[in-house]
């Protein structure tokens, strides 16, 4: 038998909905998504900051924008994105220093990143809401 017939046939198309990523892979993708979201919403955040520190009239405009429940939801999502990106960034810095590279340690650190980022988001978000 030739080598080509013995090899297992690989799929031509990747079925992304059938792939089960491990938790460290999910945290890595969320780290990238949160960074992209923060980058894309940076003009909006700068606009809000400008409205909040300008004059009393611009602060009133800021308050009217931020009091909208949809904007609050966006800001809540951006708060999570920031906190997740921060916590996952610390995890990746430790991985770059060769700390926690073992499978169980990587799973544990990714679980900690998710729990801490969600908990901090809830604590800070409820306080600011």
pLDDT tens digit sequence for 64-118: 999 999 999 999 999 999 999 999 999 999 999 999 999 999 999 999 999 999 9
**Position with higher pLDDT, 1 vs 47:** 47
CATH class for the region spanning 22-128: mainly alpha
User: Where do the domains of the chain lie?
Assistant: 22-128
* 35 — pLDDT class (breaks 50, 70, 90): very high
Reference 27, options 121, 119, 99, 112; nearest CA is: 112
Instruction: List, in order, residues 6 or more apart from 78 with CB less than 8 Å away.
Output: 37, 38, 41, 45
For residue range 13-28, list pLDDT tens digits in order. 777 778 888 999 999 9
Q: Which long-range contacts does 121-126 make (Cβ < 8 Å, 24+ apart)?
A: 121/76, 121/79, 121/80, 121/83, 121/84, 124/79, 124/83, 125/76, 125/79, 125/80
Residue 32 neighbours by CB distance under 10 Å: 11
- Is 2 a residue whose pLDDT tops 90? no
**Token match 């923060």: residue?**
38
d(Cα 87, Cα 110) in Å, to the nearest integer? 10
């Amino acid at each position: 038998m030739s080598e080509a017939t013995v090899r297992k046939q690989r799929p031509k198309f990747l079925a992304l909905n059938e792939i089960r990523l491990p938790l460290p892979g999910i945290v890595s993708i969320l780290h990238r998504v949160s960074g992209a979201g923060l980058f894309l919403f940076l003009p909006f955040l700068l606009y809000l900051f400008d409205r909040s520190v300008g004059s009393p009239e611009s602060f009133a405009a800021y308050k009217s924008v931020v009091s909208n429940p949809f904007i609050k939801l966006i800001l809540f999502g951006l708060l999570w994105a920031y906190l997740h990106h921060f916590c996952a960034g610390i995890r990746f810095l430790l991985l770059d220093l060769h700390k926690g590279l073992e499978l169980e340690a990587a799973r544990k650190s990714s679980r900690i990143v998710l729990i801490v980022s969600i908990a901090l988001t809830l604590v800070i978000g409820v306080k600011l809401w």
